[in-house]
Amino acid sequence: MHKSALIVGGGVYGAACTRYLLEEGWRCTVVDEDPLCLAARAILTEGTDGEVSFVQGGVARGLDLFTSDAPDALIPTVPFHLLAALVTWSTGHLPWTEGAAAAAAAISPTLLVSSSEGTLTLSYNRDGTCLPACPAPPRCPATGEHWPCPLHALLADALPGALVLESVQLGPGVGGLRGGDVAAVLARAREEETLVVGTACRCHGVVTALKKRDRVLQNF
């Protein structure tokens, strides 16, 4: 039985991920607001022996497909924290700046790339340029620095109450979240007033603090 992937975002990276996974025998669904996104145009033009479908829509449509199809992997290829967006659409949580500030205080400032609206972007290679399709070895091929602890493990230790998911490398330059891990976070979020969710690979990560909508409104 073929593994299945839900790819949210059909731009350059989404197209590359889709092509790679199809070649590896995965069954792929690509969600993008643009029905003529790069992934759709490139793959439909070039043809493929794999099973792929293209669905027009954004986060809400992606959440519907994830819930109904239960894919083996979720591939975020959008310029925002997809896991946090899925939680927001699913449960009504909103960004929580105070929670993000508390999380930032527990993490080395040398890892912080940016902080905005409850979300922290983090990286071991904060000031450098990564190599394309990097296999993410312990010693960075771009900087030569050795990072023995993967960032997802470091964040899990630094933020013991957070739900930090590992972005698993499915192929060169192709990272994704295990579908079961994402489903567990969505189930947990329905029970929590506040929570911190994160996704990270060995080198890069993003963390978002969230609070239930009614609790946020009570603060005003």
Q: Going residue by residue through the chain (220 aa), what tens digit of pLDDT does each one get?
A: 689 999 999 999 999 999 999 999 999 999 999 999 999 998 877 777 679 999 999 999 999 999 999 999 999 999 999 999 999 999 999 999 999 999 999 999 999 999 999 999 999 988 878 877 777 777 888 788 888 899 999 999 999 999 999 999 999 889 999 999 999 999 999 999 999 999 999 999 999 999 997 654 444 3
Expressed as residue numbers, the domain containing 56 is 1-79
Separation between Cα atoms, residue 203 and residue 123, nearest integer Å = 6
Asked whether residue 53 falls in the same domain as residue 90, the answer is no
Helices (H) and strands (E) in the chain, counts: 8, 12
- Of 54, 79, 104, at which residue does a domain stop? 79
Asked whether residue 38 falls in the same domain as residue 111, the answer is no
* Burial group, residue 205, by CB count within 10 angstroms (0-12, 13-18, 19+): buried
pLDDT at position 216? 46
Asked whether residue 64 falls in the same domain as residue 101, the answer is no
Tokens of 71: 């894919």
Residue in the structure block whose two tokens are 């439909």:
44
Domain count, the chain: 2
- Of 63, 79, 95, at which residue does a domain stop? 79
Asked whether residue 171 falls in the same domain as residue 85, the answer is yes
pLDDT at position 8? 98
First to last CA, the chain: 52
Q: What is the pTM of this model?
A: 0.92
